[in-house]
Amino acid sequence: MKRKTYRKIISTTLIALFGAATQAHTAAGTSAGKAEEQVEETLKSLSTREKIAQLFCFAYGDFQTGKDLEIRKKAVRMGIGGIIIDDGDIEATSRQLNEFMDDAKTPLFIALDGEWGAGMRYYSVPSFPRQMQLGALSDESLIYRMGELIGKECRDLGFNVNFAPVVDINNNPGNPVINTRSFGEDRDKVTRFSIAYMLGMQSAGVAGSSKHFPGHGDTNVDSHKGLPVIEFDRTRLDSLELYPFRKHIEAGADMIMVGHLSVPALDPTGTPSSISRPMLTDLLRNEMGFKGVICTDALTMKGLVNGSDLTQDEIPLASFMAGADILLMSKDMMASMKIIRKALRKGVITMEQLDEKVRRILLLKAKLGLFDEDRRISLDGIRERSIRNENLELMDEIAEKTMTLVSGNPSKPVAGQRSVYLAYMDTSAQEGSFEGIGGYPGLNPEKTADMFLETLREYDGSVEFMKYDGTPEQLESVRSYDRIIVGYHNYNIRKQNVYDIPEEVMNFMYSLPEDRLTSVYFGNPYILDRIEWRRLGTFIIAYQNTTFNAKAAAKVVQNVFPAQGVLPVSAGGLPCGYYFTE
């Protein structure tokens, strides 16, 4: 497989996509002149309390009832700026979002943390692959298309902001929180692919949120649980962590999400980035020239709460003063609004500062056309409508182009061969397993194994099936087949989940004849660092337990088409960008 023209193709594609997306983004929203008028007119109509409320965005899930729901309804009536949905039922959540929108004086940001689409929060909706699998592509045109389809999906389900893409460069295999959420460790690929994703969403009239500034990729601490400290000097930060953010700003990013990170080279006090004026105002706003909306990550995360001396009620004011515009998911928004109002009365902050932030928020709302359109969500057939054929077709195409051959050469089945498919699955390692609507299950080892077997048999109806039971009798029976296909279906995504395959399982596999063995791993490519993969015959990385990947991987095994993916990270002694070739 030749990739000599890779960079030339990529740069040409991005130029074309950028022009098209910019025009579509403008057309999908409101003209600049009209948007400015809407902003100033709305700003004049808002009370001080309503202006402060515009800064806040609360989380809503359909499990919130009683007092929790009443607080959120009150916040909407007070003029809250936005809502981010939590995991839940698509119909119940949409019904409540419509009520919120009906009660809102000023249009709401309805936001989704949907890095792989609405399926990240609505489990009945099929999900696109995680970004690391997308990093196995050699061309970002499918990423742009995916962003466009995710944007259309978002708009149909009522969302106008998607807190994606992740632009962190995952060059630390031990990263417990970014990992497969990143396009990989190649700085330029991460930048190109994430920009294509962002522009695709913009073309559909949805704002992205490039995250997690100033860069969460090379950490070994999850900021949900503690404060990561990034010890690199400014030269390294400029060349790597900050690089994608600069390019996103140049490409027209609407919003940048700030993580909770201590970066002494950028703020010697060690203050978390989300409340650091040197990082938000001096660097991001002034030096890097970002004119869009700065949004915090959730203000209840332990990295921030434990990394500062502030109470959780005081944190939003500190973030405001540091330079943030949207204060996401504060613990007690009512208490924090009062603290900001008190600071305004005392002159700690000024009305000019408040107006500047609200103006940026309103301007993005106007650009997205929120003042011009009825954004109520149609509930008619919403479950069926959310399963979009064009999405499913693209998921299949992405799967077919990301299967990554690490070693060996798949061959077509030969008449008279005895073939067996041995499935190893650790069902205790499932995460997010669900049945799904329309026969599109989630990350489910057994469903993936069923689809893998079904597809294998389309090209060789004689393939026999065994589920690993670890007995000596099974080992001996497997050894007698002419062709042995092993599928590893345990859900292996992040280090904190079940990551290793048990030693006794691997010893079983190592004993099988390599010249007759094909191994397919439905998980994280970092597994190559933890097993002796060279002893496992032909080896294919299939990234995730999905039916889309199962179909594609089986076709590669049966040599229906060649593997086209490249490693998005270095692993197992192989470099980033590697693909097997003789």
Q: With helix as H, strand as E and coil as C, how does 352-365 read?
A: HHHHHHHHHHHHHH
Alpha-carbon span 291 to 434, nearest angstrom: 41
- Tokens 């402060």 correspond to what residue? 52
Q: Which long-range CB contacts under 8 A does 577-582 form with residues at least 24 apart?
A: 577/186, 578/406, 579/1, 579/404, 579/405, 580/405, 580/406, 580/407, 580/408, 581/1, 582/409
- Tokens 């949907």 correspond to what residue? 114
> Quick check: helix, strand or coil at residue 342?
helix
DSSP conformational letter for 560: S
The two beta strands, 404-407 and 82-85, are unpaired
Residue 405 CA to chain centroid, in angstroms? 24
Alpha-carbon span 403 to 549, nearest angstrom: 8
Q: Exposure string (b/e) for 518-529, b if CB count within 10 Å is 16 or more? A: bbbbbbbbbbbe
Q: Which two tokens stand for residue 17?
A: 């996509």
Q: Which two tokens stand for residue 160?
A: 């106008």
Residue 337 CA to chain centroid, in angstroms? 30
> Quick check: helix, strand or coil at residue 466?
strand
> Quick check: helix, strand or coil at residue 128?
coil
- Tokens 């064009």 correspond to what residue? 390
> In this structure, are residues 330 and 316 in contact, taking their beta carbons and an 8 Å threshold?
yes
Q: Is residue 483 within a helix (H) or strand (E), and if so which, with residue range? A: strand 483-492
**How many C-alpha atoms does 335 have within 13 Å on its Cβ side?**
9
CA triplet 25, 391, 94: central angle to 5 degrees? 75
Burial bucket for residue 318 (CB in 10 Å: 0-12, 13-18, 19+): buried
Strand partners, 255: 293
Catalytic residue positions? 297
> In this structure, are residues 11 and 189 in contact, taking their beta carbons and an 8 Å threshold?
no
Q: Which two tokens stand for residue 340?
A: 């900001």
Q: Which two tokens stand for residue 109?
A: 């940001």
User: What type of residue is 578?
Assistant: Y
Alpha-carbon span 295 to 283, nearest angstrom: 15
- For residue 419, give the nearest of 487, 355, 330, 321 by alpha carbon: 487
> Quick check: helix, strand or coil at residue 414?
coil
Residues in the chain: 582
Alpha-carbon span 128 to 15, nearest angstrom: 25
Q: How many CB atoms within 10 Å of residue 190? A: 28
